[in-house]
Amino acid sequence: MRIGDLLNEAIFAVSVNKVRSGLTILGIVIGIASVIAMISIGQGAKKQITQSIEGLGSNILTVIPGGVRIGAMFMGRGSAQTLKENDVDVLKKVEGVLDVVPITQRTFQIIAPNGNNTRTSVIGASQGIFAVREISIESGSTFNEEQVNNISKVAVLGKNIADDLFGDENPVGKIVRISGINFKVIGVAAPKGGAMGLIFDDMVYVPITTMQKVLARSDYLTSILIKGERKDLLPQIQQEALSVLAEKHRVDPQNPDFSIISQEDILSTLTQVTNTMTIFLAAIASISLVVGGIGIMNMMLTSVTERTKEIGLRKAVGAKNREILSQILTESILLTFLGGAVGVFLGWLISLGISKFAQISTQVSLPSVILAFGVCTAIGIFFGWWPAKKAAGLSPIEALRYE
């Protein structure tokens, strides 16, 4: 029997009782829609994580105090203080390093001349922070090496901070008070948004020397950024940086008092967590597919029983067992395909709704759709095999006698 004939007969058989067919595939529809929605949330989360990490800058390693390892990532020990300015000089000598940026971060009250004020993160860093973090300047300029060396009281405002303090007024050249000390605003950063919990538009940047000597009154660093020349050099740089810094701190490289985190470490760990959650949620949603498959099997068994005489007649006039088997399997697969098509569309609508109303990033990809139809085919074959085998095994004489 040709494929076209099989499909025509399957379509006719399914359409004879539309209500029963619709109710039968309901489990498949719900299962596929749920799986598509769960996978789309997982893929959207991965995309968001990747974009967020890229927002931190490219080819960057981050050194932080503390040395606790969780999974593939090093996690700091909270308030541990082990990094100082002279660590930067050691790291600059590592082959393949383009720049090293020391950072000390504190939270201070900032007051504008008009009385507007806000409490936000103030980042003390070297002049390289803007290039390494890929922060553009909307107006004015960044501070330079001379201003860093001279402990100048100058500041670059994040876009949100500039708007909060000065509104539509240009803040460049104005004076702001940070922790009660006057600073001259020399620049405003262009809008950059956030990445990995850091909202760059809500930050204020001052020279690292000014932060340490004037504001924080401490020479300990919050972190150190290492900018590599190329992405492929980062593993080598990370290993060498670990070695030289451990030697300087006189600690065991296997148990350092600092941590070096690469963007790949962060991405790998967060992706692993996302994948685990996606698989877990998709597995729960797949229970509906099993229920739907059982529904398909029950319907096909009922259909075989109702068509016993028809099957007996076909076999009596020469239909072979494999033709009967193929027909019942085709009907089963057609039902699951219809359920899959409706489920994919419904899953896409759910994903769209989640993205729009819950503000959660989602992404329905072609591989997930192909996977959905592949699963439908497998369900159709698996749960349709027994009814098809039963139909193919009917004796023509007994089938014709069936009442």
Residue 276's pLDDT is 83
Q: Show which of 256, 283, 298 is a domain's final residue.
A: 256
Split into its structural domains, the chain has a count of: 2
Which residues, given as ranges, of the chain have pLDDT below 70? 1-2, 5, 54-55, 67-80, 194-197, 397-403
Decide if 227 is inside a domain.
yes
Whether 317 and 217 share a structural domain: no
CA–CA gap between residue 206 and residue 204 (Å, rounded): 7
Decide if 59 is inside a domain.
no
Whether 325 and 248 share a structural domain: no
Residue 299's pLDDT is 86
Whether 114 and 244 share a structural domain: yes
Residue 74's pLDDT is 44
Torsion angles phi and psi, residue 96, rounded to 5: 95, -5
Whether 224 and 318 share a structural domain: no
CA distances, 65 to each of 81, 83, 100, 387 (Å): 6, 6, 16, 65
Whether 136 and 209 share a structural domain: yes
Residue 319's pLDDT is 76
Decide if 96 is inside a domain.
yes
Decide if 247 is inside a domain.
yes
Decide if 141 is inside a domain.
yes
Whether 110 and 239 share a structural domain: yes
Task: Enumerate the H helices of 150-286 as residue ranges.
Answer: 159-166, 208-210, 234-249, 263-285
Residue 102's pLDDT is 95
Residue 48's pLDDT is 75
Whether 149 and 236 share a structural domain: yes
Q: Show which of 223, 256, 289 is a domain's final residue.
A: 256
Decide if 192 is inside a domain.
yes
Decide if 339 is inside a domain.
yes
Q: Show which of 199, 228, 256 is a domain's final residue.
A: 256
Whether 130 and 279 share a structural domain: no
CA–CA gap between residue 365 and residue 384 (Å, rounded): 29
Q: Is 131 exposed, middle or buried (0-12, 13-18, 19+ CB in 10 A)?
A: middle
Whether 201 and 290 share a structural domain: no
Residue 21's pLDDT is 83
Residue 72's pLDDT is 44
Is residue 188 within 8 A of residue 157, CB to CB? The reply is yes
Decide if 19 is inside a domain.
yes
> Which residue segment(s) compose the domain that 191 sits in?
83-256
Residue 373's pLDDT is 87
Residue 77's pLDDT is 44
Whether 233 and 123 share a structural domain: yes
